[in-house]
Amino acid sequence: MGGSGCGEVVPPGPRHIAIIMDGNGRWAARRGLPPSAGHKAGVERIRDLVSACRERAVEALTLFAFSSENWRRPPQEVELLMGLFHSYLRKEALRMSEEGVRLRVIGRRDRFSGRLQKAIAEAERITRDGERGNLVIAADYGGQWDMTQAARALAAEVASGQRTPDSITEQAVAAHLQLADLPPVDLLIRSSGEQRISNFILWQAAYSEFYFTPALWPDFGERELDAAIESFRARERRFGGRGDDSRLARMPDTKSFKQRRV
């Protein structure tokens, strides 16, 4: 991942990629292995992906590692995932700080063990001066939780007299959500062929481009990343407007509009 300094040519993007890393269980099942083998193989993809994003001038990479709903998994699987998260943080934080990658974890945190909470805080501390890119790990994260905590924070500000209800605009809500200080999520990728959001970034994905790939997460590498970026770059992002097409930019009169559509 890379920063964009003054005077640099602005790359075509995406500046911020978010990924729902799905398909570890199926990857393992196809090999006759337990889900744990898929999760272990899945974690191994992350290091290279972070480097690949840096090389492609992506400023932020947000990875969905564990959803608010993933606590419903069997206890042994949850325990394994927590263990993998802990060892990932312990192993990778130093490397990230050397590469100038700043790490942050988004999500509830208070349901993690004290040991894991400490490892998260330590990894964030070690990498805090990184200026060459951002890696965000969403763990015990849910889009509904994110909006709820923003609402709670805003309500507290109203209750304490810091703001009035009228001042709660879309910008004010956005500012209280996770990722507020990073570029908007341009590209949202989900692996494994599933085409749903599973309570990931709900507000922040309002104008993200979606990319679904059948590749299972442990098979997701540079080739899949480049295919997703290529697809993103070929799209016309209109944000509700008329886009770049000057023919479409002129509002048709009602008659010709009807003739063309019927």
Task: Considering the complex, state which of residue 85 and residue 232 has its C-beta at the smaller distance from ligand IPE.
Answer: 85
Nearer to Mg ion among residue 22 and residue 146 (C-beta): 22
| Residue whose Cβ sits closest to Mg ion | 22
70 binds, among Mg ion, ligand IPE, none (CB under 5 to 8 A by kind): ligand IPE
Q: Which is nearer to ligand IPE, 26 or 47 (CB)?
A: 26
Active site residue 22: yes
Closest to ligand IPE by CB, 134 vs 192, is: 192
Cβ atoms within 10 Å, residue 214: 11
Q: Which among 23-31, 90-98, 120-128, 205-213 is the span making contact with ligand IPE, rule CB under 6 A? A: 23-31
Site for Mg ion in 16-45 (CB under 5 A): 22
From the CB of 161, what's the least distance to ligand IPE, in Å? 39
| Positive or negative torsion for Cα 141, 174, 129, 9 | positive
192 vs 213 by CB, closer to ligand IPE = 192
Task: Catalytic residue, from 24, 70, 140, 245: name it.
Answer: 70
**Is residue 181 among the annotated active site residues?**
no
Task: Please select the residue that binds ligand IPE; options are 51, 117, 149, 198, rule is CB under 6 A.
Answer: 198
Binding mask 41-70 for ligand IPE (x = CB under 6 A): -----------------------xxxx--x
Residue 99's alpha-carbon distances to 18, 53, 61, 229, 252, in angstroms, are: 20, 12, 15, 22, 53
Site residues (vs Mg ion, CB under 5 A):
22
Active site residues: 22, 70
Site residues (vs ligand IPE, CB under 6 A):
20-26, 35, 64-67, 70, 81, 192, 194, 196, 198
